[in-house]
């Protein structure tokens, strides 16, 4: 089976090392390099596999980790992290105003929606929009305290909005009227 060509930067990312280390190993081992469809230099897959067993691999990973940590340390000592925190909180305050506006719009329409007696696409969308607002508040609160995993809420928000849209659109379709 032929070896799959892997772009050098992708090989470095996969191995968790710097591109400069991959380039040093290329210079030393002289694998056959090819270009991919967008012109990036690529190494064979078996070369990447061999890099993981290179005697210098562990040291290269440690060097890559240190090169990632060093800017964070510099940010801390230069007060850059505090500047980022202030910018983040400023944006969050602005976003929270938008979320409050969404809540108000949602509350204004509660009289028009009969959640208990209607089972239609509009009611389903209304309930899902409440979920979206709740997820937005939760994500905002998580970011406010520095919990970056809240980015995973964005996917759930997006999927919930898609589902709400589906209910609204499908309600007037033949299939939607039959359910």
Buried b (16+ CB within 10 A) or exposed e, 89-126: eeebeebeeebeebeeeeeeeeeeeeeeeeeebbbbbb
Rounded Cα distance between 89 and 133, Å, is 19
Rounded (10°) CA dihedral 157, 163, 166, 168: -80
Domains of the chain: 5-77 (1.10.1660.10), 85-178 (no CATH)
pLDDT of residue 75: 67
Digit-by-digit pLDDT tens for the chain (179 residues) are: 567 899 999 999 999 999 999 999 999 999 999 999 899 999 999 999 899 888 999 999 999 998 888 777 766 677 777 777 788 888 888 888 998 988 888 888 777 777 777 788 888 888 898 999 999 998 888 888 877 777 788 889 999 999 999 988 988 777 655 55
pTM over 0.75: no
SS3 (DSSP) at 16: coil
């Amino acid at each position: 089976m032929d070896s799959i060509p892997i772009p050098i930067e992708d090989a470095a990312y996969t191995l968790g090392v710097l591109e400069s280390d991959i380039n040093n190993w290329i210079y030393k081992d002289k694998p056959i390099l090819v270009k991919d469809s967008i012109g990036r230099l690529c190494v064979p897959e078996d070369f990447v596999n061999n890099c993981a067993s290179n005697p210098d691999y562990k040291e290269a990973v440690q060097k890559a980790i240190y090169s990632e940590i060093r800017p964070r340390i510099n940010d801390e000592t230069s007060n850059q992290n505090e500047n980022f925190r202030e910018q983040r909180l400023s944006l969050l305050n602005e976003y929270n105003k938008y979320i409050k506006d969404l809540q108000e719009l949602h509350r204004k329409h509660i009289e028009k929606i009969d959640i208990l007696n209607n089972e239609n696409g509009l009611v389903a969308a209304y309930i899902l929009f409440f979920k979206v607002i709740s997820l937005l508040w939760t994500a905002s609160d998580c970011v406010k305290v520095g919990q970056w995993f809240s980015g995973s809420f964005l996917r759930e928000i997006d999927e919930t909005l898609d589902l709400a849209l589906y209910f609204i659109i499908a309600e007037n379709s033949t299939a939607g009227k039959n359910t």
